[in-house]
């Protein structure tokens, strides 16, 4: 059987995530493991929830890292809020909006999908007009498939009696997220994008308003927020803890460390660093004659989408970048699989030297 | 905000899991991270599936680590096999059998629970007679709540047309598991027990026979084996890989390393080490006048249950062990919360020095 000796050279991870974690997040994984009911671990968990509240821009007491990846956060959002007889309006402007439709429809809810051209932001007016009284409205804040940011505040302002669900997988820690100011009721993210931690956890938050209207016995036991609340989030501070499942303690300690690094640098500085790296990358690509994919004005700094130049073999370039430069960038998604590249500047990688490296490598490979 | 300076002293984790990981598993978490579509990572994933086949005792090609903890493995087993109109017979001889009933009932299936006294093994005859034509029969191989092993081969021999689901969370890597020989169709485990890896992954396997009778669009998107099969397991070796969700690559590399350590030592030697450690612990407790909880003949070596001596404050002893000796042991479950202790000898901890340490510490605290 093989071992890890083939991993002699570190990858520079500039795809749509995971990115290279913050060194503090990796170092935390080497700490002695804690049990999931150890008072020391529960303190780390509570601090992690506090830190998540800060990056999410929310005071929601029910804020915690779910024990699975970001897509499980999406599933938790829907199975805890809708079921047969409920209407969910879903804005679709990329793969993750499509995934929301699939996930929501498996609850038995009626799903109204509002389709958009890929590369465009969500049209709040059209989404809000799609149904007179949905139970939830859902949209992706930062579409990982297209590199597009959408305006969640516009949806929050017009949501009326509906609950607003925001996918913040690729936005959290990279661009400002202000859930309470925007009127978002439920949001989730992933540890491996701009938060700069390995994949494996889904930061999650739900407002009191949404909590009161939740499905009390959701179809998923693992993602049942009512049961999870006894272990984390709701009970924090009250002293009462009920075992639900064995939390991935090492990963939580790592997320705690990654968030600590982000908050030590300061959220405005972290956002500025992402904006500078993404802006420099996008300018560099345009200088080289390439065309950006995402609509102007809605381009994410942390994930750049660019058309593959005419006549260039997309997969061949990615293979050479990986094999010769140990740099990973992403291909496109769906019909754009072979015609678009996705280049991430996330977390610890959002730096000028990373921009210079990937541009230089592209220059060499495309020469 | 706090940092990790309070974690100056490593815990010796002798509760029901997590245990202290094998050093190789922890070291792997410090390796440079790989992307989930990197050919190097896919090679590690395929080798991990191979290694899991060996420890599970199966040739099932669909064998993979699910991206969540053991309880998600349980949910995956049920949501992919039963729904409205199906009958699930579940053997209940502890908390995890009860959990199976809850998880299975959320699919809309008719659940026939066959109750047993806690501390006793599953009565195969009674379980097999509980319903004439169930779609699935499910039982826990090693009950983490009671420290009891049950005979899965007896269920496999009499299962008839039913699919047999085995919970191997606390058995895999600690005692022999021979799924194919026993006739088990679906099994799952957790990374943090006898496999000696941090919590966060659920090793999972499903036979071709069960695959053909699966629910093709299960209520869970995240645990949809049909979609997961495109990424891991089924497609392995064929070259075709479809993105499903971002796999927790760091954790998979760690599981790969932990399994490598187990197989390098050799499964018979690893099982013998667990048997020796558990046997020595149980003999030591009996020598000290304590009474074991689990039925004689069905006691797990990797998890010992023992009655708290009369007049002793169970929680107080656990608190002193944790604070003075940095040793974690577990309390009991349910009605036995304050009257039973659970002491694990799992993975890297299944050693004579660990047995000596916990017995010496108990002697001091109980003196």
When divided into structural domains, chain B yields a total of: 2
- Helix (DSSP H) and strand (DSSP E) numbers for chain A: 13, 13
A238 vs A308, which has greater pLDDT?
A308
Domain boundary among A249, A264, A279: A264
pLDDT of the residue at A5: 46
A227 and A288 housed in the same domain? no
Query: A198 to chain B: which residues are within 8 Å by CB?
Result: 29, 33, 248-251
Nearest-angstrom CA–CA distance, B276 and B301: 8
Which residue, among B50, B146, B255, has the nearest Cα to A248 in the 3D structure?
Answer: B255
- A272 pLDDT more than 80: yes
Query: A39 to chain B: which residues are within 8 Å by CB?
Result: 322
User: Average pLDDT, stretch B78-106?
Assistant: 98
B235 and B272 housed in the same domain? no
* Cβ within 8 Å, pair B199-A250: yes
Measure Cα distances from B169 to A115, B279, B311 in Å.
Answer: 43, 20, 33
* Cβ within 8 Å, pair A33-B13: yes
- Minimal C-alpha gap between B142 and chain A (Å): 16
* Cβ within 8 Å, pair B67-A67: no
B79 and B12 housed in the same domain? no
* Cβ within 8 Å, pair A1-B47: yes
* Cβ within 8 Å, pair A2-B250: no
Nearest-angstrom CA–CA distance, B96 and B264: 31
Of A133-137, B1-5, B314-318, B362-366, minimum mean pLDDT range: B1-5
- A239 pLDDT more than 70: no
- Minimal C-alpha gap between A157 and chain B (Å): 30
pLDDT of the residue at B232: 67
- Minimal C-alpha gap between B30 and chain A (Å): 6
Query: A38 to chain B: which residues are within 8 Å by CB?
Result: 11, 322, 328
Which residue, among B11, B52, B1, has the nearest Cα to B329 in the 3D structure?
Answer: B11
Query: A1 to chain B: which residues are within 8 Å by CB?
Result: 47, 50-51, 260, 263
Sheet of strand B62-66, all strands in order from the earlier edge strand to the far edge: B62-66, B202-206, B186-188, B163-167, B136-140, B87-92, B110-115
For an interface test with B, the pick among A10, A13, A15, A18 (most B C-beta atoms closer than 10 Å) comes out as A18
CATH code of residue A116: 3.40.640.10
- A327 pLDDT more than 90: yes
CB A69 within 8 A of CB A199: yes
User: Average pLDDT, stretch A284-310?
Assistant: 98
* Cβ within 8 Å, pair A2-B219: no
B234 and B281 housed in the same domain? no
B213 marked as binding residue? no
* Cβ within 8 Å, pair A10-B28: no
Nearest-angstrom CA–CA distance, B202 and A301: 35
> If you measure CA to CA, which chain A residue comes closest to B222?
A72
The pLDDT tens digits of the residues spanning B301-322 come to 999 999 999 999 999 999 999 9
Average pLDDT, chain A: 95
Average pLDDT, chain B: 95
- B8 pLDDT more than 80: no
* Cβ within 8 Å, pair B248-A200: yes
pLDDT of the residue at B229: 73
User: Average pLDDT, stretch A155-174?
Assistant: 98
- B1 pLDDT more than 50: no
- Minimal C-alpha gap between B325 and chain A (Å): 14
B335 and B210 housed in the same domain? no
For residue A9, what pLDDT band results from cuts at 50, 70 and 90?
confident
A283 and A154 housed in the same domain? no
* Cβ within 8 Å, pair B199-A68: no
User: Average pLDDT, stretch B180-197?
Assistant: 98
- B235 pLDDT more than 80: no
CB B303 within 8 A of CB B340: no
For an interface test with A, the pick among B16, B30, B220 (most A C-beta atoms closer than 10 Å) comes out as B220
CB B117 within 8 A of CB B143: no
- Minimal C-alpha gap between A26 and chain B (Å): 6
B362 and B227 housed in the same domain? no
pLDDT of the residue at B228: 83
Nearest to A7 among B6, B26, B40 (CB): B40
pLDDT of the residue at B9: 75
* Cβ within 8 Å, pair A31-B4: yes
* Cβ within 8 Å, pair B322-A38: yes
For residue A3, what pLDDT band results from cuts at 50, 70 and 90?
very low
* Cβ within 8 Å, pair A71-B245: yes
- B20 pLDDT more than 80: yes
Nearest-angstrom CA–CA distance, B113 and B92: 6
- A2 pLDDT more than 60: no
pLDDT of the residue at A321: 97
- A326 pLDDT more than 80: yes
For residue A243, what pLDDT band results from cuts at 50, 70 and 90?
confident
A239 vs A55, which has greater pLDDT?
A55
Nearest to B35 among A15, A21, A220 (CB): A15
pLDDT of the residue at A240: 58
> If you measure CA to CA, which chain B residue comes closest to A26?
B30
A154 and A286 housed in the same domain? no
Domain boundary among B264, B280, B302: B264
- B178 pLDDT more than 80: yes
Can you tell me which residue has the tokens 């059998």? B97
> If you measure CA to CA, which chain B residue comes closest to A99?
B221
Query: A247 to chain B: which residues are within 8 Å by CB?
Result: 69, 199
> If you measure CA to CA, which chain A residue comes closest to B318?
A38
Nearest-angstrom CA–CA distance, B175 and B141: 10
What Rg, from alpha-carbon coordinates, does chain A have?
A: 20
B270 and B255 housed in the same domain? no
A89 and A12 housed in the same domain? no
A115 and A227 housed in the same domain? yes
* Cβ within 8 Å, pair A249-B198: yes
Query: B68 to chain A: which residues are within 8 Å by CB?
Result: 67-68, 72, 222
Range of the domain at A224: 23-264
For residue A219, what pLDDT band results from cuts at 50, 70 and 90?
very high
* Cβ within 8 Å, pair A34-B20: no
For residue A67, what pLDDT band results from cuts at 50, 70 and 90?
very high
CATH code of residue A356: 3.90.1150.10
CB pairs under 8 A between A and B: 209
pLDDT of the residue at B233: 58
A71 and A174 housed in the same domain? yes
pLDDT of the residue at A1: 36
* Cβ within 8 Å, pair A34-B7: yes
CB A175 within 8 A of CB A271: yes
Query: B138 to chain A: which residues are within 8 Å by CB?
Result: none
Nearest to B199 among A21, A44, A247 (CB): A247
- Minimal C-alpha gap between A37 and chain B (Å): 9
What ipTM does this complex have?
0.95
Please write down the HEC assignment for all residues of chain B.
CCCHHHCCCCCEEECCCCCCCCHHHHHHCCCCCCCCCCHHHHHHHHHHHHHHHHHHCCCCCEEEEECECHHHHHHHHHHCCCCCCCEEEEEECCHHHHHHHHHHHCCCCEEEEEECCCCCCCCHHHHHCCCCCCCEEEEECEECCCCEECCHHHHHHHCCCCEEEEECCCCCCCCCCCHHHHCCCEEECCCCCCCCCCCCCEEEEECHHHHHCCCCCCCCCCCCHHHHCCCCCCCCCCCCCCCCCCCCHHHHHHHHHHHHHHHHHCHHHHHHHHHHHHHHHHHHHHHCCCCECCCCCCECCCEEEEECCCCCCHHHHHHHHHHHHCEEEEECCHHHCCCEEEEECCHHHCCHHHHHHHHHHHHHHHC
Domain boundary among B246, B264, B282: B264
For an interface test with B, the pick among A26, A138, A198 (most B C-beta atoms closer than 10 Å) comes out as A198
């Amino acid at each position: 059987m093989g071992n890890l000796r083939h991993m002699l050279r570190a990858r520079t991870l500039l795809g749509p995530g995971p990115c290279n974690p913050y060194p503090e997040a990796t170092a935390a994984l080497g700490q002695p493991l804690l049990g999931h009911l150890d008072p020391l671990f529960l303190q780390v968990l509570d601090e992690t929830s506090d830190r998540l509240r800060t990056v999410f821009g929310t005071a929601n007491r029910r804020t915690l890292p779910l024990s699975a990846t970001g897509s499980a956060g999406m599933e938790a959002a829907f199975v805890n809020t809708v079921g047969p007889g409920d209407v969910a309006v879903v804005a679709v402007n990329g793969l993750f909006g499509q995934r929301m439709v699939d996930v929501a429809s498996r609850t038995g809810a009626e799903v109204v999908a509002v389709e958009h051209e890929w590369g465009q932001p969500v049209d709040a007016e059209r989404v809000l007009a799609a149904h007179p009284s949905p139970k939830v409205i859902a949209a992706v804040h930062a579409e990982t498939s297209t590199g597009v940011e959408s305006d969640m505040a516009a949806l929050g302002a017009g949501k009326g009696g509906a609950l607003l669900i925001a996918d913040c997988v690729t936005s959290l820690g990279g661009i400002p997220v202000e859930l309470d100011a925007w009127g978002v009721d439920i949001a989730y993210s992933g540890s491996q994008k701009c938060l700069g931690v390995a994949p494996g956890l889904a930061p999650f938050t739900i407002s009191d308003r949404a909590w009161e209207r939740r499905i009390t016995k959701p179809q998923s036991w693992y993602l049942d927020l009512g049961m999870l609340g006894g272990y984390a989030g709701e009970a924090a501070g009250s002293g009462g803890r009920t075992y639900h499942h064995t939390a991935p303690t090492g990963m939580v300690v790592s997320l705690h460390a990654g968030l600590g690094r982000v908050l030590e640098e300061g959220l405005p500085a972290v956002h500025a660093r992402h904006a500078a790296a993404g802006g420099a990358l996008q300018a560099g690509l345009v200088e080289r004659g390439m065309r950006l994919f995402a609509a102007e004005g809605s381009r994410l700094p942390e994930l750049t989408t660019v058309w593959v130049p005419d006549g260039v073999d997309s997969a061949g370039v990615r293979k050479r970048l990986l094999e010769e430069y140990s740099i990973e960038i992403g291909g496109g998604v769906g019909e754009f699989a072979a015609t678009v590249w996705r280049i991430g500047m996330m977390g610890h990688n959002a730096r000028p030297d990373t921009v210079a490296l990937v541009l230089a490598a592209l220059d060499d490979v495309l020469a």
